[in-house]
Chain A
Amino acid sequence: MWLFDKDMWFEIFHTLGKNMFRTFLTMLGVIFAMIILVLLLGSANGMSNGFNKIFAGTASNSLFVWGQSTSEPYKGFERGRRIRYKLEDADILKRQIPEIQVLAPRIELASHRGTVTVYRNGQTSGSAVYGDYPEIDDITKKKLVEGRFLNQTDIDHSKKVCVIGEETYKLLFEKGEKAIGKEIRINGVYFTVVGIYKPNNNINIDGENAVFIPFSTFQVAFNSGDRMGWMAIAVEENTPVPFVESQIKTILKAKYDIHPDDDRAIGSFDMSEIFNNISAFTTVLQGFSFFVGIFTLLAGVIAISNILLITVKERTQEIGVRRALGATPVIVKRQIVLEAIVLTAFAGLVGFAVAVGILSIMNSMWGSGDDFPFVQPMISIPQFVISFVLMVGLSVLIGLLPANRAVKIKPIDALREE
């Protein structure tokens, strides 16, 4: 098999090695093309990872349901009736819809997105105050900088504890002051701070200036009875969120005498929709960078072909001599094509190595994903293999061009004294 002919490879490397400058110039195009391809792909991957990280704290297959006002009169009720859920709804829904994994009821002080004045030692903050179950942490994860989140014991004993946002901490406490164990006052009731959470650049539904207290404590302290503001619901992995969403709405509509066609009475937000949009976006981004990269690579390979074409002209005499000495057209052709392949492959590897180096520098500089969605920019092995195979394949096709030119050189023309 000629492919394993050691002499042939020696001859090719010898020829390329003895013409270093030419070889280097020829390779530049592909080196840069490969760098661009890998950087593009790596950055797209980094971005994709970055988005994934943003959502890492949020269960992607989740939805939020809250009450609004009816927009249709029904069963003797006028339109514009405010829908208020009861805590029992949580159990009803959980029982009737097995696809619900976690259901965390929540209640807010004041209106939705409204704020309450929180006091401490003469300092105040306008914060949102939520009564929550610890399960909420399974749906929207809080990054705690200090202390702990609410737990079941807090609920069971209606403990007067709270977890506050970093923003709230800054407003209520001096810089560097220890907050854990200190008390804050909400509507005349004192709560002990047990945890501080940090804004983590992730999706932040609750905001950074908020106070979380146990649901049961909320009921007692603020006399909310069995009212429930809204629900955060995590759905089983393989169940489409809209499916569960419509079931929930049907049940709630029946329970609260809402017209079946009234779409306004129950507010809901499907988290998975955002996820799908973003993953579609990153997929398109990756596809696009692959597309651009491959064409850049094509341009690079064409550059190799071009330079080989020029060098074939320059090497007319050499090729003529080789043919006069007995090189058959096939041998000449093979030599040129293999030179093209070796050049491309080597240049590709060099470009790859450089690009990977650049990516790891980028990674160490911005890879933590704190400032913008960019985490671990790197290309995957299949991406690398595909681009490499494509590149070498192209180089074969494109190497044939100068190879055919080389074969067309008649030794007699090459050796003519002029």
Chain B
Amino acid sequence: MIEIKDLHKSYKMGSNSLHVLKGINFKVEEGELVAIMGSSGSGKSTLLNILGMLDGADSGEYTLDGVPIKNLSETKAAQYRNKFLGFIFQSFNLINYKSAAENVALPLYYQKVPRKERQEKAMQYLERVGLKPWAGHLPSELSGGQKQRVAIARAMAAEPKVLLADEPTGALDSKTSYEVMDLIQKINDEGNTILVVTHEEDIAHMCKRIVHLKDGLIVEDKKVEQVRAEQYV
């Protein structure tokens, strides 16, 4: 599903150049649930941004579902993001003046799905994250866990190939974190490919594979026995 070869990325900081990714080789198969771990500054967020086509790599290859991702125009990148990827952010990034259902329907709007169908689909995905009764609520009326579930529903609504989650539990207490992970696991059980960036060990162990980044290189890549989040909920 995802294949990256010898990925390099550096940022210019004034006259200095900061080499963040120093040759990443990495492959994700369909249906995997991968945790990307590392301390801050290890390059894990940069890697996720490149995977999410939010940022371009300096060199190296990136193939997503057989499509080479290189030198994309802003327009093309936006279309690919919409088609291939679903994003889950640490701070949820819901649009604050739109209701839960409208937030979920937003990626479908950009897919030019008709309005009625959009609303139906949004309700369907809200139901899957257990928030159907909250469909009409604004993000400000939802708890952190609920917001993240809305964000997950939104990421899923466009039926992307890959879900990218950047510290999805970073802003949540452990109980809600487990609830969110439980949801992510269930979505993964249905065959969806999910990448989770985290620095929390317990969250990482709820995935099926852990990739450790340190100073811009993969230092460890191992399959782990998945801890089901269900038991903590």
Contact = CB atoms under 8 A, between A and B. Distances in A.
A110 to B, nearest CB: 85
A328 B49 CA distance: 17
A324 B87 contact: yes
B81 A326 contact: yes
A360 B51 CA distance: 64
B67 interface: no
Nearest to A413: B54
A327 B82 CA distance: 8
Contacts of A7: 109, 112, 114-115
Interface string A3-20: 000110011001100110
Contact of B98 (A6, A18, A407, A417): A18
Given A410-B54, A411-B54, A415-B54, A324 B81 contact: yes
Top 6 A-B pairs, shortest CB-CB distance = A326-B82, A326-B110, A18-B97, A412-B54, A328-B78, A328-B75
B75 A330 contact: yes
Q: Choose among B75, B78, B82, B95 the residue with the greatest number of A CB atoms under 10 Å from its CB.
A: B78
Interface in A16-50: 18-19
B87 A325 contact: yes
A20 to B, nearest CB: 10
Q: How large is the interface on B (under 10, 10 to 19, 20 to 34, 35 or more residues)?
A: 20 to 34
B153 to A, nearest CB: 13
A325 B91 contact: no
Interface string B61-100: 0000000000000110011011100010111011111100
Interface stretch (A130-138, A314-322, A367-375, A389-397): A314-322
Contact of B110 (A325, A329, A410): A325
B82 A321 contact: no
Contacts of A329: 74-75, 78
A331 interface: yes
B107 interface: yes
B55 interface: yes
B186 to A, nearest CB: 23
Contact of A15 (B97, B114, B167, B170): B97
B90 A417 contact: yes
A320 B95 CA distance: 10
Interface string B99-116: 000100011011110110
Contact of B91 (A19, A322, A407, A417): A417
A106 interface: no
B154 interface: yes
B158 A326 contact: yes
Nearest to A319: B95
B145 interface: no
B181 to A, nearest CB: 19
B38 to A, nearest CB: 15
Given A18-B98, A321-B106, 10 more contacts: A6-B115, A317-B93, A321-B94, A322-B95, A326-B78, A326-B110, A328-B75, A331-B78, A410-B54, A417-B90
A160 interface: no
A111 to B, nearest CB: 84
Interface in A298-337: 317-318, 320-331
Contacts of A412: 49, 54-55
Contacts of A407: 74
16 contacts: A7-B112, A15-B97, A18-B98, A321-B95, A323-B81, A324-B81, A324-B87, A326-B78, A327-B78, A331-B110, A407-B74, A411-B54, A412-B55, A415-B54, A415-B93, A417-B90
